[in-house]
Chain A
């Protein structure tokens, strides 16, 4: 390989690559999904489920967002963003044909190889379903490699169920168990109402031979991990995706330090024993 080719292949991780927005989809009142394709005409990046990119809205700023699309789809890159701050609100306002900068993919993904031959229980809360969706796609694409696959999903209300049509489609699959609950609902809802941890005893898995992937608010993940251990899962088989203020995304700046880790390069996916002692520490 020539020096020139090598230089083109190994991209500088600090330089955003321009992507064009092919399509936007409003998922919820404050949440949008973007489908992106590289403006240079080259292939979409390869990524592992659970990894994230830095999305740069030119003139506004850059934020870390998990990849929410199918890792086998090499034509478009998918991100689902909830508008909660300046940059994410700017992303929500972007439209098809706009350009956005993308750096990545970064971080460690879900240990899908370690889950092979075992039951897999995926527990998502709210927007937490987005970073787990690539793992769901991979689990379904390689369904024969895993035991029972169960998705437990908790949303705020029935109107806040992310990827609703997809969740409903998964629920019809005979080789997948999907249980959904909401925190609040009116009497027109005939599904479960209550926190997602209450679904765990109903998950048809063998806890002694199961691996769990969790994403949601930290309080939810902490309580879910505790309930999973009560249910019989070993702590080392529970994995969670952490989130802090990622800036450089390559472990230089230290903004996302979490105890002895930099979440951007050591995570965002950690095993419970790695971070358990940090989850109850107050941060300021």
Chain B
């Protein structure tokens, strides 16, 4: 049987961490399952946990009149879901809904924050990795906002 530590080590966000660091993380981790349309996190709720998706897809959403429910992006297998547990006020900014059955690793944010305070090397390493995820999401969101597949402005009304 594959141990939780091995499962953690196989996730790209944790790749290359030392045995001791993985052991520390394992103490804060558990396997979780969600059915389609279950919410892994809800906008405004306390952000106590983050997820590393092993299987399935999650819709990152927000809602409000007059738009109703708005789908921002999807989080796929191998991706990290949630970083609001890292910073005060520790509240989710968006909701995460399982679009299909989801199998994930859940990591206790408060537990991990405590361990990072006690071990700043681990804290730095995790912060560095999360910063990389956050930057990648920021960059892709910027590209998404460009609406690249819309009609090219330079060509509209031109000869082509």
* B32 in contact (CB, < 8 A): no
Contact partner of A220 (CB less than 8 A), chosen from B73, B78, B148, is B148
From 120 to 154 in chain A, residues with beta carbon under 8 angstroms from any chain B beta carbon are 125-127, 154
Q: How many positions in chain A have a CB within 8 Å of any CB in the partner chain?
A: 39
State whether B152 touches A84 (Cβ < 8 A). yes
Report the bound CA distance from A191 to B73 in whole Å.
Answer: 10
> In the complex, are the beta carbons of A85 and B57 less than 8 A apart?
no
Contact B76 A198 (CB under 8 A): yes
Nearest CB in chain B to that of A245: its residue: B160
Within 8 A of A (CB), among B120-147: 140, 143-144, 146-147
B159 in contact with A87 (CB, 8 Å)? yes
- 24 residue pairs A–B, Cβ–Cβ below 8 Å: A63-B159, A63-B160, A82-B151, A84-B152, A84-B155, A84-B160, A85-B155, A85-B156, A87-B159, A125-B149, A160-B149, A184-B71, A185-B71, A186-B69, A186-B70, A190-B57, A190-B99, A192-B74, A192-B76, A194-B74, A198-B76, A201-B78, A220-B143, A245-B160
B38 within 8 A of A: no
* A-side contacts of B10, CB under 8 Å: none
Q: Complex: how many Å from CA A197 to CA B73? A: 13
- In the assembled complex, B77 has its CB within 8 A of some CB on chain A: yes
Select from chain A the residue with minimum beta-carbon distance to B143: A195
B71 touches A86 (CB 8 A): no
| Known pairs A88-B160, A195-B140, A202-B78; A183 contacts B149 (CB<8 A) | yes
> Which secondary structure dominates chain A's binding surface?
mixed
The one of B149, B156, B159, B160 that contacts A126, using a Cβ cutoff of 8 Å: B149
Q: How does the 8 Å CB contact mask read for B66-86 relative to A, with 1 for contact and 0 for none?
A: 000111111011100000000
Given contacts A190-B100, A193-B71, A202-B78, contact A85 B160 (CB under 8 A): yes
Scoring B residues 30 to 67 as 1 if CB is less than 8 Å from chain A, else 0, what string do you get? 00000000000000000000000000010101000000
In the bound complex, CA of A217 to CA of B147 (Å): 10
List chain A positions with a Cβ less than 8 A from chain B.
Answer: 30, 61, 63, 82, 84-88, 125-127, 154-156, 160, 181, 183-187, 189-195, 197-198, 201-202, 216-217, 219-220, 223, 245
Name which of A86, A156, A192, A195 has the most chain B CB atoms within 10 A of its CB.
Answer: A195
Inter-chain pairs besides A125-B148, A127-B149, A194-B73, 9 sampled, C-beta below 8 Å? A63-B160, A87-B160, A126-B148, A155-B149, A160-B149, A190-B99, A197-B140, A198-B76, A219-B148
Q: How far is the CA of A183 from the CA of B155 in the complex (A)?
A: 21
Q: How far is the CB of B40 from chain A (nearest CB, A)?
A: 15
A117 → B minimal CB distance (Å)? 28
A195 — which chain B residues lie within 8 A by C-beta?
140, 143-144
Distance in angstroms between the alpha carbons of A243 and B149 in the assembled complex: 15
Chain B residues with Cβ under 8 A from A216's Cβ?
148-149
